[in-house]
Amino acid sequence: MAAPKISNPDRLLLAWPLIQIGSLAAAVLMFLFPGMVSSDSQTQPRSPAATLPVRGLHLSAPAPKDLSALLEFIRVALPQERVNTLILEFDYGFDFRSRPEFAHSSALGKDEVRQIAKACREKGIELIPQINCLGHQSWEKSVGRLLGKHPEFDETPGKYLQNEGIYCRSYCPLHPEVHPVLFDLIDELARACEAKSFHVGMDEVFILADPDCPRCKGKDPAALFAGEVKTLHAHLKQMGCRMWMWGDRFLDGKATGIGKWEASENGTWPAVDHQVPKDIVICDWHYERAPETPRFFASKGFEVVACPWRKSEVSLAQLAHIKSIRGGADRIAADRALGVVQTTWCGFAPFLENYKKQRTGEAPVKGAPSECVQCFSALFKALGEKP
C-alpha cells in the first residue's frame, strides 16, 4: 500500500543526539548548552541494526501438564533466541475465581501462572497475557466460554445455528453487563501475570452493528469499534496496563487491496481516525505477504510491531519494513517501529515439539507447527545479523 506521509515532528527529541554521538562529553555539553546541538540532528538516520526494543513470541497458554516444559523453554530457549517479549494467549482458559462461572479446574490457575511470571521476570522477558475481546467468541461449531456462560452478551443471539455461515461470533459492545464481567476476568489474569501490558485481541471482527441487535442496529461499525477500543483502553490504563491489540480492523481492505482478513471490508477501518488513544501498541499481522502497513500505523501515531506466522520470506520482508522505518530520517516514526512478534497458532506443545526437532537438525516438514518454527528461526537469526 502507499503509506501516508508522516507529518513534521512537533517536538524536539533532545535526547537523540546523545545516542547518536555516544559520548559523555556530548551529554555534558547538551545539558549545559542545549542550543549548541542543532534540532536538525533529529533527522539523522539510526542504524537499522540497532537492537529492536521488542523481539517477541506469541504462544497459546499451555495445558497444566505442559507447564514445566514452558518454564524450561522460557528459562533456556527464549534467552538463547534473544526473545524479550512473550505474549501468552489465555483467552478464557484460566481457572478464574473472580467470576465463579468461569472457574476452570483443568486450566492453569493463579499459582501456576505466577511461576510463568517469575520465570519471565528472571530472564528479563515481559509477559503479556491475552484475552480475545469483541470478536473470536466462537470457533467452528463451538461457542466460546464468554458467550457460553452469558449468551445474553451475543451480538447475534438465536442466529447462525451451530455457527453455520459465519467465521466467529462477537459479543455486543453495548450490552450494559458485558464489561463488568470482562473487566473482572482481565483484572484477575493481569494480576496473576504481574502484567504491565495486556493484549485484548480485537482481530477479525466480522459481526458488528448487526441489524438484529437491539442496541447496535443502524450504528456505524467504525464508531462501535472505536468505542470498544476506548473502553478497553480506559480500563487498562486505570489499572496500570498498556494496551496491545491486533491492527487488521484499522486497515482499509479494499483501498489497500489487502482484503477482508488481514484488513477490514466491513466498515471498521475508519475507527483509526476516531480519536483512538495513540499509546496502544499495534500488532500488525500479515501472513501471506508483507504490505508496508507498519509505516501506516507509525504515521498515525501508534507504536507498532510486525507479526508474521509461517512464511519465512514474509517475516524477513516485515523485518525489513521495521528496520527501514527505524533507520530512516524521521526520528519520531523510527521510535514507533518497536520490532517483531512471531505468531504460532498451533498450540504450545506442537510448537515446542517441532522447535526441539529443528534445533537437533531435523528438516522442517509441511504443516503449521513446523513451518512457524522455521519462520521463527529465520526471523530471529536475521535479527542477530548486521545489515
Taking only the tens place, the pLDDT of each residue in 350-370 is 999 999 999 999 999 999 999
**Grid cell for residue 360:** 537437533
Q: What is the pLDDT of residue 282?
A: 98
Burial class (CB in 10 A: 0-12, 13-18, 19+), 155: buried
In this structure, are residues 304 and 294 in contact, taking their beta carbons and an 8 Å threshold? yes
Burial class (CB in 10 A: 0-12, 13-18, 19+), 152: exposed
The predicted model gives 134-150 an average pLDDT of 97
Q: Please, which pLDDT band fits residue 387 given cuts at 50, 70 and 90?
A: low
Per-residue pLDDT for 230 more than 50? yes
92 residue type, one letter: Y
Per-residue pLDDT for 84 more than 50? yes
Burial class (CB in 10 A: 0-12, 13-18, 19+), 249: buried
Rounded Cα distance, 83 and 107, in Å: 25
Q: What is the pLDDT of residues 152-190, one digit of tens each?
A: 999 999 999 999 999 999 999 999 999 999 999 999 999
Which sequence spans correspond to the domains of the chain?
13-44, 54-383
In this structure, are residues 99 and 181 in contact, taking their beta carbons and an 8 Å threshold? yes
Our measurement of the distance from residue 276's CA atom to the centroid of its chain's CA atoms, rounded to an integer in Å, reads: 16
Per-residue pLDDT for 338 more than 90? yes
Q: What percent of the chain has pLDDT over 70?
A: 87
- Where does 54-383 sit in CATH, by number? 3.20.20.80
- The position carrying cell 541494526 is 49
Rounded Cα distance, 18 and 96, in Å: 48
Q: What is the pLDDT of residues 246-303, one digit of tens each?
A: 999 999 999 999 999 999 999 999 999 999 999 999 999 999 999 999 999 999 999 9
In this structure, are residues 17 and 37 in contact, taking their beta carbons and an 8 Å threshold? yes
Rg of the chain over all Cα atoms, to the nearest angstrom: 22
Mean per-residue pLDDT of the chain = 90
Per-residue pLDDT for 234 more than 60? yes
- The position carrying cell 501508534 is 302
Q: What is the pLDDT of residues 6-49, one digit of tens each?
A: 333 333 232 333 333 333 443 333 344 444 333 343 444 554 44
Helical spans, DSSP H, in 243-292: 253-256
Q: How far is CA 106 from CA 62, 94, 102, in A?
A: 11, 8, 12
Rounded Cα distance, 19 and 32, in Å: 17
3 residue type, one letter: A
Q: Please, which pLDDT band fits residue 208 given cuts at 50, 70 and 90?
A: very high
Helical spans, DSSP H, in 125-177: 145-149
